[in-house]
Amino acid sequence: MDLRCMFEPKTVAVVGISFSNERHPANVIFNKTLLRYPVEVFPVNPRGGSFQGQEVFKRLADIPRKIDLAVIAARADFVPDIFTDCIRSGVKGAVLISGGFAEIGRQDLQDRIVAIAAEADFPFMGPNCLGIYSPPHIDTFFLPSERMVRPEIGNIALVSQSGGVLVDQMVKFANQGLGLSLGVSIGNKAVIRELTMLEYLAADPQTDVIAFYVEGFEKNEGRKFVLAADQCSKPVVVLKAGKSPAGTRAASSHTASLAGDYSILSAVLSQFGVVEAKNEFELLAFCESLSCYKESIEGSIGIITGSGGHGVLAVDVCAEHGIKVPDLSETVRNKLSAKLSPSVRTIAGLNNPIDLTGSAVDDDFVTAVEILSGVPDIECVIILLLPYSPGITSDLGARLSQVYRKCGKPLVAYVPHLEKYRMFIEGFELNRVPVSPSIEGAVLMVEAMRRCRAC
């Protein structure tokens, strides 16, 4: 099944254009594609005519170009005939936006279109989905452009049964400065499922981390997915919904999914090195961390802070996750004391966490990171950076990142995410050091490396 033509199409047909409702999903998708993406796009409606100055074709077969991707937003009852037209016309794949299938009890209609597609080896996304966000190639979401928040192009792929969850995560990714290689809403996943996407993304050179929002699997499907994830050379992150009995019922009514026994799935994910995110907050932190680091660690870290209170909070969060914060040897403490600024040397706390106090300057933080990076028992360093400390400059993030680049030991930063501190944050991000706006998020970035088996 060749999916590349769906994610990087050159020609697109939008089926279901409305002449009476300008906000119809097909119209929104057509306008967005026409104005914002480097593809040829063709409107389709059985009435024919003209739309936005473009000829409207009555059937896909009437379009004088071979179509890579058909985006279908028509009534469910019309879809079997549209699929037949797609196949006869040589369309390479489809996104079926339309609902009205298994999710409302019409399994027979969904089975019918699956049979039509299977006979011709015709791939399609959905039904009941938003489809594909593939920057800079295509966006099939029926969301007006002015309401969309689009992450930059990046190296994380996100696959979601829920279109709403996908869009919500895209907003959070954008706010965090994370980029997407691909965002896919698979809806009822009648043909293209999580396993299909995992196999595709495992070979995609633009993707380094593969994340899934999953509501449920068919019988034995979860096992196949986990085994494939175990063989994947890239980190795989899963956020599973439908953990509770009520959530299971909600998942079944949403996309006709079998939510299954969550406790069993969770144990299996852990056994095979798949990183399970317990919530959206963890999903974001895990994706950012694993997009920078592929290391698998046992979980022994060093903490450097300019505020003793922040260090205590970080240790508490580490304890909750079973991450060790070992004491430093006398040799290491003496080395630190000898190299710190004279004004800081007498007041700094030199155990772990290292509290450099609010009097520290850039060189003190750089020295502390260099020394901790050389301690064999420390697998990762968390730096809790308070940009309002008077002795540090906006170059500190970049300088600390250079230590990571030289030493190779993973570094994770906490910096409050305010626009006035953007230069601090960019100093880390531009050097592929993950930055969290919360202490808990920074610890979770370490936890991601602990849960992920080496890739």
Nearest to 77 by CA among 24, 118, 36, 16: 16
**Boundaries of domain holding 158:** 149-292
pLDDT for 401 equals 96
Domain end point (choices 292, 318, 342): 292
Domain end point (choices 242, 274, 292): 292
Task: Report the CATH number that the domain containing residue 427 is assigned in CATH.
Answer: 3.40.50.261
- What is the Cα gyration radius of the chain? 25
| CA separation for the pair 115, 38 (Å, rounded) | 33
pLDDT for 254 equals 45
Domain end point (choices 67, 94, 127): 127
Residue 31, number of CB atoms within 10 A of its CB: 18
| Residue 266 and residue 336 share a domain | no
| Residue 160 and residue 102 share a domain | no
pLDDT for 426 equals 94
Does residue 193 form part of some domain?
A: yes
| CA separation for the pair 366, 393 (Å, rounded) | 12
Q: Where are the beta strands (DSSP E) in 179-235?
A: 180-185, 209-214
| CA separation for the pair 184, 395 (Å, rounded) | 37
| Residue 299 and residue 447 share a domain | yes
Letter for the amino acid at 278? Answer: K
pLDDT for 360 equals 97
| Residue 270 and residue 303 share a domain | no
| Residue 303 and residue 267 share a domain | no
| CA separation for the pair 44, 58 (Å, rounded) | 6
pLDDT for 245 equals 59
Q: Which two tokens stand for residue 435?
A: 């930055």
pLDDT for 35 equals 94
Mean pLDDT by 10 residues, the chain (455 residues): 94 97 96 95 97 95 97 98 98 98 97 98 97 97 89 97 96 94 98 97 97 93 94 96 63 51 88 94 97 92 97 97 97 97 95 96 97 96 94 95 95 90 91 96 96 71
Residue 196, number of CB atoms within 10 A of its CB: 18
| Residue 234 and residue 101 share a domain | no
The helices-and-strands tally (H runs, E runs) of the chain is 17, 19
pLDDT for 262 equals 86
